[in-house]
Chains A and B, each alone.
Chain A
Amino acid sequence: MSRHKLVKNLDLDDEMDDYDGGDDYADDDTEENLRLGTIRVREELPEASGHITDRQIQDALWHYYYDVDKSVAYLIKEYMAKPKKEQKKKVAGGFYLFFPTLQVHGGELSSKACSKPFSFAEFFKDTPWLNVPPERQAVFIAPLYPRGGLLGGSSDGAPKMSKLQALAAARKKKAQEQKASESSGVEKPMAGLSLNESASGPSVGSEATEPSSALKQPSRRFPLLKRKDSKPHEKSQKAPPHVEKEPETNDIPMSISPGDLDQAEPSAFASTMFNSRDRSPPKHSANLFTLPYAATATPATTDPFAGPSPDDVVTAAQSKVASGKGGKGPPKTSVEKKTDQIANGVEALKIDDTPKVTSKNLDVLKEFEQKEKKNEANFVVIGHVDAGKSTLMGRLLYDLKVVDQRTIDRYRKEAEKMGKSSFALAWVLDQGTEERTRGVTIDIAMNKFSTNKTNFTILDAPGHRDFIPNMIAGASQADFAVLVIDASTGSFESGLKGQTKEHALLVRSMGVSRIIIAVNKLDTVAWSQERFDEISQQVSAFLTSAGFLPKNVAFIPCSGLHGDNIVRKSTEPGLTSWYNGPTLVEELDNSEPITRALTRPLRITIGDIFRGGVQNPLSISGRIESGSLQTGDALLAQPAGEKCFIKALEVDSEPADWAVAGQNVTIHLSDIDPIHLKVGDVLCSPTSPIKIIKEFTAKVLAFEFLTPMQIDVHRGRLHTPGRIREIVSLLDKGSGAPTGKKRPRIVKPAQLARVIVELEAAVPLEAPARVVLRSNGATVAAGLLE
């Protein structure tokens, strides 16, 4: 039988009869089951369940698969609890209009209006154009944005957040809300409490919180403060009668009365500035025209607790009375009159300016003794021009690894480019472009090195006769001297006539007593011993006549260019065969420590003035001749007479707190204009300032003929023109007693004389100073101030 036939044979009416009311449970036994179930459910259901239809029961049974208990439970839950809703649902079958955030007041949406298709004309029927009555206006509830970012910052607009941040913030907010809803019962009143307390006005609030905080943290007290009570005023406020009983002294109780309103209204300027930001209208000043109806309206105060509370007003009044009583003071007694006199004296005293940089008040000498590990020595390198002074020192520094190989290689390359390859080592010290192109040292070059016994400072002096003043400046800072002599044929002879002699005389007259003679360039004469001996004899004869003791003179044969006998012992067979003495460095090390004038008043001659950077607009460098200093000390600049302060201090280009005589220091000054300082000026302590003089008497050794003539007086960096006003007498070289006739006309070379020198400008000079007198580019005399 085909499917078609089956369909054809289908009795449609019969089939439709069977199908009762669209239900899909058509079977007879199903129907039977349902009927039985319905009866059982009806039995189970309570009395009041009459309104539940059979159909509903059958539905429930069908869904719960004839489980009577479950069906009953469902039916009770569904239809017994809210029977009314059930009915209403039946009645209103129309469509609903939802305005989730838009609540419309007033106009009631009747079910009748809604049952019709919605028309906007109907909705706005009784609403006028413009001037919508407030009750018809929509109220927009602002969404809650997460509070992100820090307090402050750009005050308009919430800070920009990335998507991730926003998500995190939203989650956090959700969690917070949940938490808040859970714990709102307990926490909310507490929060209100704390807020109330903190908002109860600035004056009251601070008092109320203070004792508790003091109780909480007694250990946090400032330990050095010897106060019995950290809040004396608070105490007096709490017990105002106590204050009133204290008028025995004439001091006024210093409590800030609690009634004070410290917060001021903004000034005109401030209110202009913040006007746009202020929500409250600006306060009208009295002289402005105010609108009649606006005059009565007081501007709303932003903080109701800003003003004094009534209690505060009362306490303020009380304390004012108390202070009025206390302030009068007792009548004057005789003691008081005496104190007045003293007060007069005190008033006459001028209050000295306190130093701007705080001094550490170190005992510098003690510090110095504690720190002293190595000797310090400065030596000046002198000699005739082209004797090889700079090269010798360059070699010394290079061999002692003060200068590295790369630098030397660079100098070599550059020197070769200029065709002066032998000058490479000299460039270590000759840094200036002019010095390098000309191949001569022009100004003092300074460098440092240290052996295991002593820290040395090299002062490389220029040899050329045009730069003698610079050489004098260098020699004035030196403890001993290294005299470099060119041993090559002809050079030594010309040198002895030239600056070798003059330099030796000058350093002697500057007070240098020890001298090391480096006989340089011996390699050019094949390390000849005869040459060395010849030079030694001639030079030592001359030095002895100049006043050096033979024990303070040492000769060392060496070669600066090759480095023999400078740091390392020479391996040249020509030299080792006859010389076995110390090298130059060993000889330098043998120099005994020099005693410093530490306890004498401070003196520094300014060697250089420069701008030490942005932080230190004015810095000077120089050697401390005597005394000591530390950061924060006051200094007096002479001859300007200006006071200044030591802001910072550098010894050997490292920051230090103090320095003593003999050290080369860089001082950063404050509180002084650079116009008051010039090279050669003296900085001294304000308590014992150096005198400025225009005339002095000196005991001088003449190198040339001296007559009353125009001269230049040199002392370190300082040099000033002047003239010999008078030759007082000639002196005996041995005893120093006056010899010959008084007031001689002329002083011959190598004679000792006492002269009076008159200066064109006043300069700071002091008694045991050594001065050099020069005239027409040559040194004519040197001597000691008296």
Chain B
Amino acid sequence: MTDRRRINGPSGGTSAPVYSKYLTKDASDLDRPTRTRAPNVLRKMFLKTGVTPSASGSAYFELEALKNQKAVAPGLASLSTSGLKLTCTVHGPRPLPKSAPFSPHIILTTHVKYAPFATRKRRGYVRDSTERDLGVHLETALRGVIIGDRWPKSGVEVIITILEGEEDQWWGDDRGRGSSGSGDWGMMTVLSGCITVASAAIADAGIDCVDVVAGGVAAVVRGSGDIGKPSPTILVLDPAPSEHQEIVAACVVAYLPSRDEITDLWVKGDIGHENQRSLLQTYSYEDLADNAVQAALGAHRVLVGALKETADMKIRR
């Protein structure tokens, strides 16, 4: 479906032209960001609740931007990589419209939308399949947390706007390979952020939950080895797709720490078969999920900190 109601910007990024005299031979590879964190270190998060006064509950979430310490070429603003920024509003619980059929529990609706400017490739105004997919995953993650029986005949809407998305791959790769190469890896981090921020906003709205759910991502990545001699795969927490040459598989979980439960699990990619694993010393899907849980625990700490801060502020006032 094409959007004919608005005048849309060009679908691709609009980077300023780079003239050849600035380009040395391997300039592009020099610029390639690499992971400077240890494999087990998450990017720092910033989470704040109560940002939208008109909503029942709201939260804002961001991941710190990548630091490109090797930037030698003249920096182009459009090529800078920055972190994830999400804002979430929760409306409700509010009564269902009269026309809606009776529901013995709360009806949860989730909307995830990329802002048109959120990614390098411009997004449409109409929700596409990726966004609907994220919405479905988010709903699954939250459904297991909210105690829905306490609000019969009511509905709650969770609306997330992605102000700045995670890139699916490094911009240099996507120039070379075209659109086919990327595997939507950025979606995984976005989903994990969505879960965390929605959880914060729901807590801010005062909706009863069994626990605060936090999202976490882990991935099996192949480092940038020499050509023809790939480096072994390693397991990292909170992967930034632009920092890795290739992501073999990734896993998102929505995890409830105090109950040790997972409400949503999404694994993407292929690690390989059992017999291959023994040779390659790679990881099993269970390792992947376990580590995603650890990432979720990290996010949970920030989440609890942010909620505490808001609660303190409210009580002190």
- Chain A residues in contact with chain B, CB under 8 A? 147, 150-156, 198-199, 202-203, 205-206, 210, 213-214, 217, 220-222, 225-227, 230, 232-233, 249-257, 260-267, 269-270, 273-274, 277, 302-303, 306, 320, 323, 329, 335, 338-340, 342-344, 346-347, 351, 353-354, 356, 617, 670-671
Contact = CB atoms under 8 A, between A and B. Distances in A.
B9 interface: no
Contacts of A273: 51, 60
A227 B163 CA distance: 38
Given A151-B310, A250-B232, 12 more contacts: A147-B315, A151-B206, A152-B56, A152-B205, A252-B235, A254-B237, A254-B294, A260-B42, A262-B302, A263-B301, A270-B62, A339-B279
Given A256-B41, A263-B46, A339-B280, A347 B222 contact: yes
B228 interface: yes
B165 interface: no
A329 B304 CA distance: 37
Interface stretch (B19-27, B97-105, B145-153, B261-269): B261-269
Contact of A153 (B57, B232, B260): B57
B102 to A, nearest CB: 21
B314 A151 contact: yes
Contact of B53 (A154, A302, A306): A154
A351 to B, nearest CB: 6
Interface string B278-307: 011101001000110011011111101110
Interface in B200-238: 203-206, 218, 222, 228-230, 232, 234-235, 237
A203 B60 CA distance: 22
A302 B309 contact: yes
A264 B49 contact: no
B44 A617 contact: no
B129 interface: yes
B54 interface: yes
A203 to B, nearest CB: 6
A267 B65 contact: yes
Given A206-B297, A270-B46, A302-B309, A323 B204 contact: no
Nearest to B85: A269
A213 to B, nearest CB: 5
B135 to A, nearest CB: 12
A226 B203 CA distance: 31
Contact of B50 (A152, A233, A340): A152
B309 A222 contact: no
B279 A262 contact: no
B299 A262 contact: yes
A264 B230 CA distance: 34
B20 to A, nearest CB: 32
Given A252-B234, A303-B305, A340-B229, A151 B40 contact: no
Q: How many residues of B sit at the interface, in one of the four size bands?
A: 35 or more
A224 to B, nearest CB: 10
Interface centre among A232, A251, A266 (most CB of B within 10 A): A251
Given A220-B259, A347-B246, A306 B1 contact: no
Report, nearest first, the 8 A-B pairs whose CB atoms are least far apart.
A264-B44, A150-B206, A152-B204, A202-B301, A264-B46, A339-B279, A155-B50, A202-B305
A320 to B, nearest CB: 7
Contacts of A277: 51
Contact of A152 (B40, B57, B83, B309): B57
A521 B237 CA distance: 79
Contacts of A251: 234-235, 281, 283
A447 B83 CA distance: 56
B258 interface: yes
Contacts of B115: none
A256 B297 contact: yes
B228 A214 contact: no
A198 B49 CA distance: 19
Interface string B23-63: 00000000000000011111111111111011011001011
Contacts of A340: 229-230
Nearest to B64: A264
Interface centre among B38, B281, B308, B310 (most CB of A within 10 A): B38
A232 to B, nearest CB: 7
A335 B279 contact: yes
B280 A342 contact: yes
A443 B116 CA distance: 43
B60 A256 contact: no
B79 interface: no
Nearest to B54: A154
Contacts of B279: 335, 338-339, 342
B290 A232 contact: yes
B73 interface: no
Contacts of B309: 302-303
A152 B54 CA distance: 11
B283 A256 contact: no
Contacts of A671: 129
Contacts of B42: 256, 260, 262
A222 B290 CA distance: 12
B173 interface: no
B48 to A, nearest CB: 6
B256 to A, nearest CB: 9
B38 A270 contact: no
22 contacts: A147-B315, A152-B204, A153-B56, A153-B206, A198-B308, A202-B301, A202-B302, A206-B297, A214-B260, A220-B260, A233-B294, A256-B40, A256-B295, A256-B298, A257-B40, A261-B44, A262-B299, A262-B301, A267-B82, A267-B85, A343-B280, A671-B129
A199 B308 CA distance: 9
Contacts of A343: 230, 232, 280
Contact of B294 (A151, A252, A255): A255
Given A151-B204, A254-B291, A269-B85, A354 B40 contact: no
A206 B302 CA distance: 11
B157 interface: no
Contacts of A253: 40
Contacts of B286: 225-227
B172 interface: no
B62 A203 contact: no
A252 B304 contact: no
B173 to A, nearest CB: 15
Contacts of B163: 269
Contacts of A354: 268
Interface centre among B60, B83, B272, B305 (most CB of A within 10 A): B305
B124 interface: no
A320 B38 contact: yes
Contacts of B295: 256
B174 interface: no
Contacts of B48: 266, 270, 274
B268 to A, nearest CB: 6
Contacts of B71: none
A230 B294 CA distance: 10
Nearest to B204: A152
Interface centre among A217, A233, A264 (most CB of B within 10 A): A264
Contacts of B276: 342, 346
B206 A217 contact: no
A206 B43 CA distance: 19
